[in-house]
Structure 1
Amino acid sequence: MDRLNFTLGNARDDLLRDGDDWDKFSRFWEDLPLDPYMGDGGTYRRRKHSLISYTVADGTVASIDQDGFLQSKEINRLNGGIVRRFEPADQALLDTSVFRRLLAHFVARIERSTPGGAPVPAVRRINVHQHRIVATEREAGNPTPEGIHRDGVEHIVMMLIARRDVTGGVSTLYDNTRSPVLAHTLKDPGDYIFLDDRTAMHSVSPVRVAPAAAEGYRDMFFLEFC
């Protein structure tokens, strides 16, 4: 698992053809509450988080009750080591056709990439994250304030929902020696990086408000396959 394993794509081109469905899906980023746990004191991140199960055979999705979200200090040196409790993703988002198609698509890709003979889980546990990073004239937004890191899961989907009136936000992938391998900017709605988290680390540069704008934002959707 030493070779960095990732792909780039656009979900709207790859598997989503109905623009109206995407519009309904993306509206769920309009009411994200403030993340109160930022170790750097920043007020630039808004988010929701849910843990779900996905039954591979029939596509059943169920929310898993949990007592907060915990990452170790080794994984997240800024915000790790404490239990963080976030408002869950709306059930209506989990019920959208876009969400269900995304799950089925990326689970199938993971299954195809699993070495022959390796056990394949019948039920997947998946972290669902919604982030909005806000940039203003007073404060830049920092998508990865913890710096270069891995998420400590199996696979990650990092997908752009929208970007408006911001510059920056360059995603960089690193091998396990922290040597940069790829610098890539997610620009269009649906652009994604699909990454085997065990083979790589990643970071994202700050986003700053564009000239002549008072505020801008970068909306992201993450699926973490545990």
Structure 2
Amino acid sequence: MDGLKFTLGNARNDLFRDSDDWDKFSRFWEDLPLDLYMGDGGTYRHRKHSVISYTVADGAVASVTQDGFLQSKEINRLNGGIVRRFEPIDQALLDTSVFRRMLAHFVARIAEITPDGERVASVRRISIHQHRIVANEKEAGNPTPEGIHRDGVEHIVMMLIARKGVTGGVSTLYDNAESPVLTHTLSDPGDYIFLDDRTGLHSVSPVRVAPATPEGYRDMFFLEFC
């Protein structure tokens, strides 16, 4: 598998043009609880997390029972090695048309780019993360406090839901030798990076509050196809 493999796009333009469903979807980021597991002592990240199974044939979604979220120290140098338990994502979000169309879209894209001869799973296991990174005059927010890393999955969708009153938050993609390949800012709601996690690494620069703004935030949605 040679070279970093990724694409850029905007889900609102691709899937939800002229629809108010996106605004209803984005409201699920307004009540995310504080992440209490930050190894750097930061109080800037709020999140929810769930794991689902997705049946390709009929689009059925089912929650997968789990006992916390665990990453190795090799994957996450800051917060790895411990079981972290987060509040699950609201079922109402999982039932939205935006989420269901998003799932179908990216599962189909993975099937399209899967090399001939490789088995395409009929049931996909997907780890879903909602993040809000907050910045204020006292504290910057760090979207990737673990630094340059991979998530240890197959494919990742990193999608911007909203950003308000912040600067920074610049994404960088690297090849497996940690040489930077792309620097890109997700700036418009729906902007995404679709990345083959096995082919490279990624990081995001800190977000800082914009001038004359008391507090700002950057909301992200992650789909990790395991």
TM-score (norm 2): 0.99
Pairwise mapping of residues 16-31 of structure 1 onto structure 2 (< 5 A)? 16-31=16-31
Residue equivalent to 2:112: 112
Residue equivalent to 2:188: 188
Q: Which amino acid aligns with 2:72?
A: S
Distance 2:55 2:217 in 1: 34
Cα distance, 1:16 vs structure 2: 1.3
Residue equivalent to 2:72: 72
Tell me the SS of whatever aligns to 1:120.
coil
Cα distance, 1:160 vs structure 2: 0.2
Cα distance, 1:18 vs structure 2: 4.2
Cα distance, 1:2 vs structure 2: 2.5
Q: Which amino acid aligns with 1:215?
A: E
**What count of residue pairs does the alignment treat as equivalent?**
226
Identity value in percent: 85
Q: Deviations over 1:20-41 (max 9, x none)?
A: 1001100000000000000000
Residue equivalent to 1:158: 158
Residue equivalent to 1:58: 58
Tell me the SS of whatever aligns to 1:19.
coil
In 2, are the aligned partners of 1:46 and 1:132 still within 8 Å (CA)?
yes
Q: Deviations over 1:61-99 (max 9, x none)?
A: 000110000000000000000000000000000000000
Tell me the SS of whatever aligns to 1:87.
coil
Q: Which amino acid aligns with 1:87?
A: E
**RMSD of equivalent CA atoms:** 0.5
Distance 1:169 1:19 in 2: 27
Pairwise mapping of residues 1-226 of structure 1 onto structure 2 (< 5 A)? 1-226=1-226
Distance 2:154 2:165 in 1: 33
Distance 1:180 1:76 in 2: 19
Cα distance, 1:19 vs structure 2: 3.0
In 2, are the aligned partners of 1:2 and 1:176 still within 8 Å (CA)?
no
Tell me the SS of whatever aligns to 2:161.
strand
Q: Deviations over 1:38-64 (max 9, x none)?
A: 000000000000000000000000001
Distance 1:174 1:140 in 2: 24
Distance 1:19 1:165 in 2: 25
Q: Which amino acid aligns with 2:81?
A: G
Q: Which amino acid aligns with 1:218?
A: R
